[in-house]
Chain A
Amino acid sequence: METEKLVVMMVNDILYYLLKKGAHIVDSEIVASSRDFYILIEANVPSENKEVVEKDMKILSKIKDHPELKYYSALSQQVGGLEGIYTIAPYIRKIDFDFAENGLRLEIFVMR
């Protein structure tokens, strides 16, 4: 699958996941350059779900080190999951996330 499509799928999965966790999406941005894509997602997460989201983000940042798990991305059609990220795992260069109060700032760098 072309990288652009993978990027869009992944952003969709993350936005859907955040919405299901009751988050208010403040901003989502995809910057395309000749070498890579920079994805920025900002959201306000309700305090009761902050712990869960933080744990899931930590898992996401681990998954990028396991591109062989991408095979399981066929399960990404299940609602509310973050499995879509597996699809793009081999191309992810970096995942950074930061919680300031309840605001989540997620940055992902994807190689073209």
Chain B
Amino acid sequence: MPGVIVLIYRFFLVISLSFMVFGLSVSRTQIFQELTTIVLSPSYLLTDYMALAGVGGAFFNSGLLMLLFTLLLWILKINPSGASIAAILTIGGFALFGKNFFNVWPIVAGVLLYTTLIGENLKTFLYVAYFGTALAPISTHLILASGFNIVGFFLSLIVGFLLPPLASFCLTLHRGYNLYNVGFTAGILGMFLGSILKAYDLAPTPRFYWHEGDQVLLAVFTYSVFYAILLYGLKLNGWSFKGYKSILSHSGKLLTDFVLLENEGVTFINIGLLGLLGTSYVLLSGSALNGPTIGGIMTLAGFGALGKHPKNIAPVVLGVILGAATNSQPFNSPSMTLAVLFGTTLAPIAGEFGFIWGVVAGFLHSALVINVAFLHQGMNLYNNGFSGGFVALFLLPLIDAARLLKNRILVSMRGESNGN
């Protein structure tokens, strides 16, 4: 076990430093200016830091956040598992379009404050704190909208404070079939906060930053990262795919931690493969590699350690593509491209109930996801997790009912044939 701990910490360190070095080499002397722009600008959806500040600043911010959150894991003496990999890569991904080294901390502090006040082990809600940074744009909005506002800081702290009890409850609503549970939770919390802001005429104006340049540079870097992860996994697994088939047999429902259930070698192979698939999809669909899409790819890959694999994401992806191809949105529009990448939050539905239900889930998600962002005024970065939660809790009772009906029909058909 200690070997696994070292391997995962080493992975975090290497990926964080790679992002920071890449960011520095692209931006060079502009880095401080870019980071200042990132911190001081509103960060709600959709703010691509590459378009807002620059490619280098976005990557440096991402690497720095991954490094800081890894440091926090290390300080708290966490033995990293699949959940840690998912959390760190998700944070890194969203640090390309919404999270920065300033706005995440009030949320984290709020969660830790709640944990301390109820007398729990500080580690208990650590991942809620990590994933809860989905609400980081609220911090920027409340604290930095007009100079530094101390009241805004305390309000952001309260937002984090409310997350743990809500997140635990939300798990029971979708029964673990929506992998981005904190995204769903943050969406519900964000919905109330967004409504309050709107009621008092404090809601932010919509914004849309979407970077479309530097495609060769970004493709080379993204492919290199995921090829390296794949090779790392293969090396740990004795240069073979042995045991990978076992990963494909899991439904992916929470909590399917591949590091605990299988081993770190096949987990890294899965992460690498999902990252490569995600990158290829974005490029082949004619969309652009940028902050949001690379963030989506990193989240998809990160959850390759916590439930996702090619077999259970394929039906959901197909469902979203089916929706994108037939609805009014262009097939490779930003919202549909992100729906394909992040819609894989519903992979456990396909893993547990089969291909058809996976396609249905993806199709419903493609429609719902474009209609829920206004509820939280773009303050919840995990908009797809919010939508995914609703899709799961809508579909689960229907799947149960369909199964019940099917069984009844089968029983009555058997009864008839026996009667004959």
Contacts and interface: CB of A to CB of B under 8 A. Distances in A.
A62 B124 contact: no
Interface stretch (A8-16, A29-37, A40-48, A64-72): A64-72
Given A69-B255, A75-B175, A78-B176, A62 B1 contact: yes
B172 interface: yes
Contacts, number: 59
A65 B175 CA distance: 24
B91 interface: no
A89 to B, nearest CB: 9
Given A59-B260, A90-B121, A69 B1 contact: no
Task: Give the interface size class of chain B.
Answer: 20 to 34
A63 interface: yes
A71 B1 contact: no
A69 to B, nearest CB: 6
B253 to A, nearest CB: 8
A34 to B, nearest CB: 21
A62 B124 CA distance: 16
B353 interface: no
A103 B192 CA distance: 54
A39 B406 CA distance: 43
Contacts of B172: 74-75, 77
A62 B260 contact: yes
Contacts of B164: 71
Contact of A68 (B1, B123, B254, B261): B123
Given A74-B172, A78-B175, A67 B255 contact: no
Interface in B232-268: 254-255, 257, 260-261
B254 A71 contact: no
A74 B260 contact: no
A12 B251 CA distance: 25
Contacts of A74: 168-169, 171-172
Contacts of B1: 62, 65
A83 B260 CA distance: 13
Contacts of A67: 121, 123-124
B261 A59 contact: yes
Interface stretch (B61-69, B77-85, B293-301, B323-331): B77-85
Contacts of B255: 69, 72, 75, 83, 86
Most chain B CB within a 10 A radius of its CB, from A66, A70, A71: A71
B167 interface: yes
B168 A71 contact: yes
A68 B124 CA distance: 4
A67 B261 CA distance: 16
Contacts of A68: 78, 83, 123-127
A71 B169 CA distance: 10
A64 to B, nearest CB: 10
Interface string B119-160: 001011111100000000000000000000000000000000
B175 A71 contact: no
Contact of A71 (B81, B127, B257): B127
A78 B253 CA distance: 12
Interface in A61-108: 62-63, 65-72, 74-75, 77-78, 83, 86, 90
Contacts of A62: 1, 260
A69 B176 contact: no
A66 B81 contact: yes
A65 B79 contact: yes
Nearest to A77: B172
A28 B121 CA distance: 28
A63 B126 contact: no
A66 B171 contact: no
A90 B123 CA distance: 9
Contact of A90 (B83, B124, B127, B168): B124
Nearest to B73: A68
5 contacts: A70-B123, A70-B124, A71-B124, A71-B125, A71-B127
7 closest residue pairs by CB, A with B: A74-B171, A68-B123, A74-B168, A72-B255, A90-B121, A68-B126, A67-B123
Given A65-B79, A68-B83, A68-B123, 11 more contacts: A66-B260, A67-B121, A67-B124, A69-B81, A70-B123, A72-B171, A72-B176, A72-B255, A75-B172, A77-B172, A78-B176
Interface of B: 1, 78-79, 81, 83, 121, 123-128, 164, 167-169, 171-172, 175-176, 254-255, 257, 260-261
Interface of A: 59, 62-63, 65-72, 74-75, 77-78, 83, 86, 90
